[in-house]
Every structure is written in structure tokens, then in C-alpha cells.
Amino acid sequence: MDLFLPVKPTVLIVDDTPANLSLLGGLLHEHYTVKAVNHGNKALKVVSREQPDLILLDVMMPDINGYEVCRRLKANVHTRHIPVIFLTSKTDIENEEMGMSLGAVDYITRPINAQVLMSRVKAHLVNASNARTMRVNNEYLEFEVSKRAKELVTLQKVTILALASLAEVRDVETGNHLYRTQSYIQALAHKLQDYPRFSSYLSSTMIDIIVQCAPLHDIGKVGIPDRILLKPGRFEPHEYEIIKTHPTLGYEALLQVQAASDDSVYFLEIARQIVYSHHEKWDGTGYPQGLAGDEIPIPARLMALADVYDALVSPRVYKAAKSHADATAIIISGSGQHFDPDIVAAFVALGDEFQEIAKRFADSVHGLHSKALSLSRAISKAFADERSAPTAK
């Protein structure tokens, strides 16, 4: 006994004449599951409960005519795919054009030719089955593409944070610095969407890219020697010049990453802008290129303010944190000199939000002490390595 008999397609007949329902049902019942109703409204109720595979629809009916039934079916996203064949005694071309324009797949005139009816029903059911298979396949492909795209975005974010952590573990700052600066930049960018100078650039997509890339801003510090990067006191002039090379080191590292990729990766271009130019100043006195004003890429201008603010309000083992009010005063004093004036204005308007971000991602005392201990050990090792290195002749 075959437990997997093929399921018969369901055909819904809609006709207000009992004789027509009987005739059509008799022709179809051997090959199909037949359902029959004698009113348009009844047809709509049946379809809403259990969708047939095909509908044979009379045009002239007393409640709502077949054209209106078809119009409502095609207007509903859940029923628009059901093939509709009009059955009518009207033979003029205008009525046929009306039916086809509403989305019907065929138009059969009475008196019904049984062979023609059966042939067309079969053909349209095959077409509908193929279309249904294609829809399912397309939905599956869309799901897989969407899933893959989400995986790639996640991988991109993880990669960025992993790269950023390489620099962070060698610095006095904590990992929360990355989260705070990301959040500051996100708040600033959304605020600046209302500013004419920034609205065309700061789309939602661009903001997402900038925020993702922000943690890479100090990736170049990986190339700074420990004896300088981890020095607890003030830098000597020649040491500061070495520190100032970290934007260039980071920029060149990202260029190598880009060169290793077969395709152009746009987020790396934004990352390079942040890495290379976040120490530039609005008045042209920054480094490494001495860019001024709008020459400085917007992502780097956002990073510049976020980085400075975080440095001011965050406690370190070697300094106390400044209050938000004091940090705000310093940043305002740098408007038009260190910072883009419009970005400063946006920052001032976001004062409460900046304070909330600083509080949400505040560094723990344990984290600071652990960082201090690691820093002390790294400094000792750096200077021990320097003393043990062979002297150049």
C-alpha cells in the first residue's frame, strides 16, 4: 500500500448557477479536489481560510461580480499568486481585456468545451506549481544571502575590534575607551545629519561604517617601541616625534590589508581616514599632514573630538579625570582651532548624552589597577630588553 499518494490540486469553482457548478465539478473531480461556492463573498471567505491552487471564476454574479473578486484577490499579498480563470458568456474583446488586466491568467467563454477547459486548467496548475517552486527557492536564496551578509558584517566588526585590541593592550587606556569613543561618534554623527554641511555625507549607512571603524584609530601604536609608548612620564621631544608616527604606521598597515584583498573594501577607506587624520587640527597645526578645515575627512574630525573628550574625562593611573564641565570648556576653547566649529556645536548640544555614555562605559577601579600592573611589568621588560641589547659599533 502506498502511503505517499500524491495530493490532488484544489480547484475552487465560483458560479451562481447550480447547473454550471454541477457541470464543472463533474468534469474536474476525477483529477482534482473540487470546492464550489455560488457567491463572490463566499469565495473570498473560503480563500481566506484555505487557499486553492486555482480558481474558476464566473463574471456575472448577484452580490459582487467576478471582476471585483479577482481585484480583491490580486490586491492581497497572500492570495495574489493564485491563478484565476474567468468563465463567461461574454465574448467581446473588451471584457476579455478587462479580466486579463485584473491579473487573470485565462478567459474561457461559454459554452464550455470540456477538452479545452481541462487542458487549460492543467497548464495553469503546472505554471502555478513552477512559480511556487521558484518563489520558495528565491525566498531561500534571499534568506541565505541575508544570513551570509549578516555573518560578514559580524566578522567585519569582530575583525575591527580584534585589530583595535592589538593597540589597546599596549596602551594605558582600557578597552572601554573603544566603546565610549564609538558611542560619542555615533551620537555626534546622528546630530550632524541635521546640519547642511554634513547631511548629504552622513547617511545612516555611512554612520554605521564610521562607528564600526572608530576602534581602529590608534592601531598604529602597535609599531611604537614599548620604551616610548609605555613611558610613565612626559615624552622628550624626540620621543614625541616617534609617537606622532603612529597615524602613518596605522595608515600604511591598512594599505597593506587593502592590497591583500581582491576587491575594494570601502570600510577600509573610511578606517584609513580615521587612522591617518584624527590628530589633524582645524587650523592646520596637527599631524601628520598638517591638513586644515574641510581638507580633514569628516570621520577623522569626529574621531578627533571624541578622542580628546574621552581623554579629558577618563581617569588614568597618572591623572585624575576632569569634570564634564571642564572638558566642555576646553573643547569649546578649541573650536575653530583644534576642532570643526559645527562638530563642537553638536557636542555642546549633546552634553547630557556624552555624560551618560561616559557613565555607562566607565572604567572600573579593578580594570585600572590591572592595567597599571601590566603597564609596570611591560615598562620594566622594555627597559631590561633595551639594556641587554648589543651596543652598535
- pTM for this one? 0.57
Q: Which CATH number fits domain 10-140: 3.40.50.2300, 3.40.50.300, 3.30.1330.40, 3.40.50.9100?
A: 3.40.50.2300
| Span 352-379, average pLDDT | 66
Q: Identify the helix (H) or strand (E) that includes residue 41.
A: helix 40-49
Please give the pLDDT value at position 163: 65
Q: Residue 382: what pLDDT? A: 42
Query: Between the CA atoms of 254, 260, 266 and 268, what dihedral angle is there, to the nearest 10 degrees?
Result: -10
CA 299 vs CA 151, 234, 302: distances in Å: 25, 29, 5
Rank 126-135, 160-169, 186-195, 358-367 by mean pLDDT and report only the highest. Answer: 186-195
The pLDDT score that the predictor gives to residue 324 is 97
pLDDT digits (tens, 9 = 90+) for 272-295: 999 999 999 999 999 999 999 999
Return the higher-pLDDT residue of 345 and 386: 345
- Spans of all domains in the chain: 10-140, 169-388
Query: How many angstroms separate the CA atoms of 371 and 311, rounded?
Result: 16
Percent of the chain with pLDDT over 90: 58
Alpha helices of 193-323 — where are they, by DSSP H? 196-199, 204-213, 226-229, 237-243, 246-259, 266-277, 298-313
Question: Cβ contacts of residue 331 below 8 Å, gap of 6+?
Answer: 305, 308, 309, 312, 338, 339, 344, 347
Query: H or E stretch including 66?
Result: helix 66-75
Of the pLDDT bands very low, low, confident and very high (cuts 50, 70, 90), residue 147 is confident
- Judge whether residue 368 has pLDDT over 50: no
Q: What is the pLDDT of residue 224?
A: 87
Fold of 169-388: Hypothetical protein af1432 (1.10.3210)
The C-alpha atoms of residue 64 and residue 55 are separated, in whole angstroms, by 16
Report whether 103 contacts 70 (CB < 8 A).
Answer: yes
Cell of 105: 491568467
Q: Which residues make beta-bridge pairs with 239? A: none
Q: Rounded mean pLDDT of 140-156?
A: 71
Residue 159 contacts residue 254 (beta carbons within 8 Å)? no
pLDDT tens-digit readout, 191-217? 999 999 999 999 999 999 999 899 889
316-337: average pLDDT: 91
Please indicate whether the domains covering 10-140 and 169-388 agree at the CATH topology level: no
Identity of the amino acid at 275: V
Task: Print burial letters for 50-84: b (CB count within 10 Å at least 16), e (below 16).
Answer: eebbbbbbbbebeeebbbebbebbbeeeebeebbb
* DSSP sequence for 94-140: HHHHHHHHTT-SEEEESSPPHHHHHHHHHHHHHHHHHHHHHHHHHHH
Phi, psi of 85 (to 5 degrees): -115, 120
**pLDDT digit string, tens, across residues 32-67:** 999 999 999 999 999 999 999 999 999 999 889 999
What is the structure's pLDDT at 364? 63
